[in-house]
Amino acid sequence: MTQTVQPTNPEAPTTPDATTPGGSANAVETSSSRERIPAALKRRVPKYSDLAPLMQFKKPEFSREAKLRRASTIWELRDIAKRRTPRAPFDYTDGAAEAEITLRRAREAFLDIEFRPGILRNVSSIDLSTDILGKSSRLPVGIAPTGFTRMMQSEGEYAGSQAAEAAGIPYTLSTMGTASIEDVAEAAPNGRNWFQLYLWTDRDRSLELIDRAAKAGNDTLMVTVDTAVAGARLRDVRNGMTIPPALTLKTVLDASYRPAWWFNFLTHEPLTFASLSRYTGTVADLINSMFDPTLTFEDLDWLRETWKGKLVVKGIQTVEDARRVVDHGADGVILSNHGGRQLDRAPIPFHLLPEVSAAFKADNSDAAIILDTGIMSGADIIAALALGADFTLIGRAYLYGLMAGGRAGVDRAIQILEKDMTRTMALLGVTKLSELTPDHVRILGK
């Protein structure tokens, strides 16, 4: 029988053998026996005094206010809105034209950028205020015009205008709004109110709206020019969207999961439009009956002569048209494809922005460049400002807040965007909007 002898390391130190007096020369200390365990890592039974600071259980909160507080992004507000709102009005807000390619591309455009921050700057104080169309705004974002807003949530335009007033930013009432010009002005008497105009085939009706807007204190008229006809908003077609929502078997079943929306809708004043007293029919029929497909630049000249305040043109999608409307007297342009709700595969405003900015600089034009479509975060806003926008507008982003929680939800949407902007500015190493330049943003793939 062969006995295996383990080799020994002649350089290894020896220790006395515990089994024989004086030890043995063959006793070797292994590396494992030499390891030392720090006292902090030795197992022990935890003491209550150690656990007490960690045991901070909070009572669960399920209120609307608590849910709004927990929302950290506009996307999270959208999730709440979808749970609280019937499909037809939610899809009217959330959807776009045809295959909704334009809307997806508009949002992706903001994702496909790279910020280029500066370091070692003192960013302890961030100033987000700016001047737009002759007056100051506490934030570089305002609320865009949205139609049928009280159909999304019963507080509608009142919530939007009052939240804008509290935030120190402009609010724009749509011709298709569901509150009158006068009522909105009364609800937010200290706010900066703008009015968005669709030029009707009936010019006398348009003149009446212009006069009412001026008398109510609106300082800016925003004329929308990308609605010669209604876009193919297929979600609305599939949902049988009507104004007001029809009580069909389908909508009643949908309402059973969202009783609060229907309770608010049925127990508040019926929808009152900014531009007409009542209407019953589909959205597309209303648009096609009101909008004028014969509009030309001569009509813009007529508007410039008629309106004495600031005039901006919404729906600009080419550099050439941006220049032309300024030549015809516009004080500003709004780069917008109507949130992707008109022409699918339309130009993306964020991509068009650097070209328009360069063209205006070449022309020595001081016309304002405002951008909407696709904005879902404060970082999106900062990117737009860096690439040449003077101001931005939000539509869906604020409506998600409205549907999620009425006035409180709109407040929360604005708070989220402000926090995003402040953080993004600090991380870029700038303290005021005038310090932003195109060097802070690179569009990937270009």
> Helices 349-362 and 101-111 meet at what angle, rounded to 10?
70
The pair of three-digit structure tokens given for residue 107, joined into one six-digit string: 């949002």
| Helix, strand, or coil (residue 58) | coil
CA-CA distance, 175 to 159, in Å (whole number)?
17
- Alpha helices by DSSP H, 230-318: 234-239, 249-255, 259-267, 283-290, 297-306
Angle at 137 between CA 209 and CA 337, to 5 degrees: 60
Which entry of 268, 338, 351, 440 is annotated as an active-site residue? 338
CA-CA distance, 139 to 127, in Å (whole number)?
9
Using only C-alpha atoms, what is the Rg of the chain?
31
For 328-388, the DSSP string reads TT-SEEEE--GGGTSSTTPPPHHHHHHHHHHHHHHTT---EEEE-SS--SHHHHHHHHHTT
In the chain, DSSP finds a helix count (H) and a strand count (E) of: 19, 14
CA-CA distance, 158 to 156, in Å (whole number)?
5
**Annotated catalytic, 351?**
no
Contacts of 22 by beta carbon, 8 Å cutoff, 6+ apart: 16
Angle at 144 between CA 66 and CA 178, to 5 degrees: 80
Q: Which residues are catalytic?
A: 338
